[in-house]
Structure 1
């Protein structure tokens, strides 16, 4: 990464066939408009001050702490000083955390920044240098530690009552099988064996977002993969199940805080597969 100009914005994505994404980036000034993911965003600031609005307050991340942004919580991102900031971030599906915790409500770290030492250590294990490959077993061990560190750092859950993890998981799997066409909540309910509104509630509790939002995010995952392969915006949008390019662009900008064209420009040659 040292060959990159220090005051030019860039994003380096680490290739992975798993259900999480690692990035390292440098932002000189303003990086991201308000947006939200359906994944956890967990990471650390390497240098500078990383400022972001989160749950109604301005937060400031510096080296030594851990950022934990809950799924579907709106946030932005910009430099807190004139020197810019560099950071590494892990975007991890709540479903992975669920598989480890056995269907417990998602851990919620209230303030977006934690100084819990176990959580910091678990995060660092999953965020080595971008050119450091991780073995599958190494990743799985680190994911186990991260899930339990999140649970401990979040404290007791505020959620109570019964929920059906297996039904919600069946609905989530069905969404993956039918991304290219419109879906209804009634259809998901039929395949999950749960009534519509109980399923909708359970899905939010267990996976951090609504069924439709989850479907949209999986379509955007496919769009990004197609863009880095060189596909035009319009064909990527249609292949992923969006009605047209503008439909995809609206969702992309709301999700990542920047347009698809700007996102693609910021990718480093290594992230693009050195095409």
Structure 2
């Protein structure tokens, strides 16, 4: 096959800056985007052009303009171009705790296909997939979270056969984790902090927040690690400061979460900031 005479433009990722409570990105990939990974957030997005292909729940899916991508917390997925033309998309990462503030302790709504053509989800997700130069103010963001939670619940339908959940106890455990990230956290400690038997708490945590207590701890440490890297810490120093045993331990978790190693993630972000003229200081050391 004769190669195109036009060179393929480089991949790029733009993050909302400054971010609100909700992280948003816009990206373009000409081929491979991300290795298999999983977040502990809802990933809500829109394909703007091309075909956005990804493996999800055992099948290869194809997102196209007009669909809404709805990836459930902690579900493994990857990302790649479905055609030689590449694809462009926007995505927002919604903390399940924000959805629970609206639902008040119901099981998280689950959209099994990872894609939806339902117009309720399309319009409810619209504020989150606006252009990156449109920041969401606090009230707009809160209204949009409410509308999204209602749309997710309506489209997913009511789950059947669930035992009673203790939302208040589970929220106490979540708050304890956030306040003690720099210590070794055990289920026994969460049991004491929440007043809920540990295995029931662990089950409720998964249903209400979409992930296990251990994964929740790990992802919050990765959040801190990303902030440290952007502040100029080296990979090894940031890993230790964020509570990981060493750099390799951190890198394994980072790649499983974000689909790229931390050095590649940082290179993309610094390239974005350089292009935008926002990164004035000396780039952090990668080693």
Structures share fold, TM-score greater than 0.5 = yes
Equivalenced residues, count: 271
Query: Pairwise mapping of residues 131-170 of structure 1 onto structure 2 (< 5 A)?
Result: 131-170=133-172
Gaps of at least 5 residues in structure 1 are: none
Structure 1 segment 222-237 matched on structure 2, within 5 A: 222-237=224-239
2:144, 2:256 → 1: CA distance?
30
Structure 1 pair 269–6 and aligned structure 2 pair: CA distance change class (3 A):
farther
Mapped partners of 1:145, 1:235: distance in 2: 41
State the match for 2:177 in structure 1.
175
RMSD: 1.6
Q: Give the 4+ runs in structure 1 shifted more than 3 A.
A: 16-19, 270-273
Once residues 253 and 259 of structure 1 are traced to their aligned partners in structure 2, the CA distance between those partners, rounded to angstroms, is: 5
- 1:274 maps to 279
* Aligned twin of 2:191: 189
8 Å CA contact 1:15–1:21 kept in 2: the answer is no
Match of 1:50 in 2: 52
Show the counterpart of 2:217. Answer: 215
Q: C-alpha offsets along residues 237-273 of structure 1, whole Å, 9 cap, x if unaligned?
A: 1111111111100100111111001111112117894
Gaps of 5+ in 2: 1-6, 281-287
- Taking a change above 3 Å as real, the CA distance of residues 182 and 188 of structure 1, as seen in their structure-2 partners, is same
In structure 2, do the counterparts of structure 1 residues 264 and 114 end up closer, same or farther at CA, with 3 Å as the change threshold?
same
Q: 1:231 to 1:142 in 2, by over 3 A?
A: same
Rg larger for = 2
**Other structure's SS at 1:83 match:** coil
Q: Which residue of 1 aligns with 2:85?
A: 83
Matches of 1:126 and 1:44, distance apart in 2: 9
Cα deviation code 1:3-27 (max 9, x no counterpart): xx97211111113554321010111
Q: Which residue of 1 aligns with 2:203?
A: 201
Q: Is the 8 Å Cα contact of residues 126 and 143 (structure 1) preserved in structure 2?
A: no
TM-score normalised per structure 1 = 0.95
TM-score by length of 2: 0.91
